[in-house]
Amino acid sequence: MSSGRRRALVTGASGSIGAAICRRLARSGHLVYLHAHHGGERVQALAHELNTGGECAQVLRFDVTDRPATHAVLEQVLQAGPIQVLVNNAGIHDDAVFPGMSALQWHRVIDVALNGFFNVTQPLLMPMIRTRWGRIINISSVAALIGNRGQVNYAAAKGALNSATRALALEIASRGITVNAVAPGIIATDMSEGHFSAAIIAQLVPMQRPGSANEVAHLVDFLAGEAAGYVTGQVICVNGGMA
């Protein structure tokens, strides 16, 4: 297939990092599907912004933890052709120290990040394989690499995602498809605002500043392009030197 406009899906597009990734991929010429479960108004506004700016974006609404609902939406999308760039960005925090963590907190976080990866990626894979070109990029976290107090559930989910990234990369490398993970550290987003003081950032981050959503998005855009065709099975950090 030519390297012209490819169809890309970004899950969790309503958040700061997801939105930045969507903008970057749209500016690189992709037709971008903006996924959200909650935050529908934000993704609708983002789609309007991109479409009025000359790019091409469409909104998809489904719960990545609901396998039948996810499949129903993706089947409709696939009728127009394969998705060749997939960014699994959907994820949630539900923090608590482990002795006080409820079963619901444990399962919800893993369900979105890990089962959501399976529910979205698997039905898109065979159509992608048939084109013999594809990019799968999973958004992980520095918590998967160095841990974080109060986030045993989140670190477990993202650590498993890193392992799935490496294994899937081996399975489909010969099909012209790369699979990589991007592991952000402390990123300045609406979600992280107020969680990290300047003093804590200076202590934790060698570069002594938070990263930006755009810095994550630029790396994702590179991994989604032709130039990254020989990069696969990697967990690449964007964390100012934390790990």
Whether 230 is catalytic is no
Percent of residues in the chain assigned helix, strand, coil, to nearest 5:
50, 15, 35
Q: Dump the DSSP string for 32-84.
A: EEEEESS-HHHHHHHHHHHHHTT-EEEEEE--TT-HHHHHHHHHHHHTT----
Q: Where are the alpha helices (DSSP H) in 56-204?
A: 67-78, 103-110, 116-131, 143-146, 152-172, 198-204
What the block records as the tokens of 114 is: 């890990």
Q: How many helices (H) and strands (E) would you count in the chain?
A: 9, 9
Of these residues, 33, 62, 117, 154, which one is catalytic? 154
Count of other CB atoms within 10 angstroms of residue 80: 10
Q: Which residues pair with 212 in a beta bridge?
A: 188
230 Cβ contact list (under 8 Å, min separation 6): none
Catalytic residues: 154
